[in-house]
């Protein structure tokens, strides 16, 4: 059971299955006749294997292949029967014996990620860089089948070349991108596998990801790369975006096209214009709030063509001004404050590093708790990030409890500034309501209802204020309601938008399940007291990432 590739422009994986399933191999062994050393090895029946060898030593050999050219050691390696493999090796089995396609037992172990089998083979002299007739090494096979744990294991422990090309110039990263195994892609990028490598057809890993239309894989490649890969053309003169479009993967084509345009624009924008474009919309929003406040004071509170303001209305007016000034303070805080950057340089020996930062720095070659947590690897920051964090390609940081990147504050919203952001939204809503109320009350007595033209002529400042106020009210109220709803459920905007991608938000039945929801009251209390909701799962169960 091995992988083979065609050399056409549209690569294919062909799998020849022996119909074995290691999950219930013992059950199958009871139902299927064990007739020789090969079936005994395939189904893990050590007693029968021993009996075959010991009863007919002259005719039974563990170093010869079966009728199809496959060795007993390959069958045992496929199904991860380490005890069977040790017995075969002790009785003449060759760890480097190759079948008709030149694949060894290590290739077969890589198909199902049999780490124990790979250890037995490599500790007994198997060649980790052995290649088959297609130039596939164990790292290629592991990438083709998404066996991320085994791939990392043989690279970390036995020094396997994770960037080696096959006969067509394709690296494990090409294969992982083509098959859509995003975790494997993350691991290879984390280890600095080359994204620029082009195979004999001129295709990069991004071309291969675009070919099969896996948007998540393409997103990881784009965000972790230099963006130059977006512009690379294969031998046919096609970019990844064009390839995705030609294959009918419009969602991937749109993503890549947008990224390509953004990259081209960033290269064109230099000097002052380039620096200004990187600031975002924060100066615009700041200006709108300031202008609205000044207009309110000049055109509503102290307008010469309006009656003297009453004490009650004046109180509400100055309350609106105070609320606007408080909103500006919170705007500055959530724009300039660290949203929850996860340190790239935290060291366990640095006592001044916060505890949450100490948890992310690790050695990938020696980190025993990594298996199963591949989605937490950040190939850009080179850290193991917390579960609810995400890398922001705009801020170029991993953000703890990432909510979203807000261009209007030119900053991310995360664990450390979400409280400031929410208060800013609430103050914006309150200010817009008070300003509208006071403005309407001020002109109601001097302008008849329906006299819009008269109002525009006599009170243009009030009209302009109400127009901007309406925009602020709609935006701030909508965002306040959305954020309040998510805080009450202990969810982030990112989690709501990408719930289908995160396995920790799905229960055993595959349906949506939020392990962080501790009830509306508790979630809101935590947020108001601590500034963020709890990251601890409510139900004591392991999170499968």
The residues assigned a catalytic role are 406
Could you tell me the two tokens for 325? Answer: 């000034």
Which of 160, 147, 170, 148 lies closest to 121 in space, CA to CA? Answer: 160
Distances (CA, A) of 336 to 71, 189, 410, 530: 64, 31, 9, 19
Continuous H helices in 92-133: 105-111, 115-123
Q: Which residues of 159-198 are buried (b: 16+ CB within 10 A; e: fewer)?
A: ebebebbbebebbbbbbbbbbbbbbbbbbbbbbebebebb
Length of the chain measured in residues: 545
The Cα–Cα gap between 460 and 452 comes to 10
The Cα–Cα gap between 419 and 438 comes to 28
The Cα–Cα gap between 167 and 306 comes to 84
| Element (DSSP H or E) covering residue 15 | strand 13-15
Could you tell me the two tokens for 434? Answer: 């008070």
The Cα–Cα gap between 162 and 139 comes to 6
The Cα–Cα gap between 453 and 281 comes to 33
Instruction: Answer for the pair 194, 163: CB distance below 8 angstroms, yes or no.
Output: yes
The Cα–Cα gap between 498 and 518 comes to 21
Could you tell me how far CA 83 lies from the centroid of its own chain?
Answer: 38
Could you tell me the two tokens for 233? Answer: 């053309």
């Amino acid at each position: 059971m091995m992988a083979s590739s065609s050399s056409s422009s549209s690569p294919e994986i062909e799998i020849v299955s022996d119909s074995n399933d290691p999950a219930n191999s013992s059950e199958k062994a009871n139902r299927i006749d064990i007739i020789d050393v090969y079936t005994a090895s395939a189904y893990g029946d050590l007693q029968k294997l021993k009996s075959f060898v010991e009863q007919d030593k002259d005719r039974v050999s563990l170093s010869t292949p079966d009728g199809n050219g496959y060795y007993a050691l390959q069958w045992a390696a496929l199904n991860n029967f380490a005890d069977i493999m040790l017995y075969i090796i002790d009785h003449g089995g060759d760890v480097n014996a190759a079948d008709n396609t030149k694949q060894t037992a290590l290739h077969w172990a890589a198909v199902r990620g049999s780490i124990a089998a790979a250890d037995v083979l490599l500790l007994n002299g198997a060649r980790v860089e052995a290649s088959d007739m297609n130039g596939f090494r164990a790292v290629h096979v592991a990438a083709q089948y998404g066996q991320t744990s085994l791939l990392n294991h043989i690279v970390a422990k036995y020094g396997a070349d994770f960037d080696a090309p096959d006969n067509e110039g394709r690296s494990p990263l090409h294969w992982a991108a083509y098959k859509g195994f995003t975790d494997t892609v993350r691991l290879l990028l984390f280890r600095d596998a080359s994204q620029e490598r082009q195979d004999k057809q001129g295709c990069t890993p991004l071309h291969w990801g675009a070919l099969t239309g896996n948007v998540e894989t393409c997103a990881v490649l784009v965000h972790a790369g230099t963006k130059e890969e977006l512009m690379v053309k294969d031998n046919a003169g096609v970019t990844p975006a064009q390839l995705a479009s030609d294959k009918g993967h419009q969602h991937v084509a749109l993503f890549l096209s947008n990224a390509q345009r953004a990259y081209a624009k960033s290269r064109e924008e230099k000097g002052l214009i380039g620096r200004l474009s990187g600031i975002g919309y924060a100066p615009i929003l700041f200006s709108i709030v300031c202008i609205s406040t000044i207009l309110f004071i000049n055109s509503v509170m102290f307008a010469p063509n309006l009656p003297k303001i009453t004490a009650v209305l004046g109180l509400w007016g100055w309350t609106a001004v105070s609320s606007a000034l408080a909103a500006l303070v919170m705007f500055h805080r959530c724009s300039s404050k660290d949203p929850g950057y996860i340190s790239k340089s935290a060291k366990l020996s640095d006592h001044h590093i916060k505890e949450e930062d100490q948890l992310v720095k690790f050695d990938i070659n020696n980190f025993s708790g990594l298996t199963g947590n591949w989605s937490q690897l950040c190939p850009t920051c080179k850290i193991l990030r917390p579960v609810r964090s995400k890398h922001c390609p705009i801020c170029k940081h991993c953000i703890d409890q990432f909510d979203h990147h807000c261009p209007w504050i030119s900053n991310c919203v995360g664990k450390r500034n979400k409280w400031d952001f929410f208060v800013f939204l609430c103050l914006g809503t309150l200010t817009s309501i008070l300003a509208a109320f006071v403005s309407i009350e001020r002109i109601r007595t001097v302008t008849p209802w329906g006299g819009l033209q008269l109002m525009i002529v006599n009170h243009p400042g009030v009209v302009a204020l109400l127009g901007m106020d309406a925009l602020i009210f709609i935006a701030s109220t909508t965002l306040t309601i959305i954020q309040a709803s998510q805080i009450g459920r202990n969810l982030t905007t990112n989690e709501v938008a990408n719930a289908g991608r995160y396995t920790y938000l799905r229960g055993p039945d595959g349906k949506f399940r939020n392990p962080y929801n501790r009830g509306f009251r508790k979630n809101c209390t935590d947020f108001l007291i601590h500034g963020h909701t709890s990251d601890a799962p409510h139900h004591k169960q392991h999170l499968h990432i």
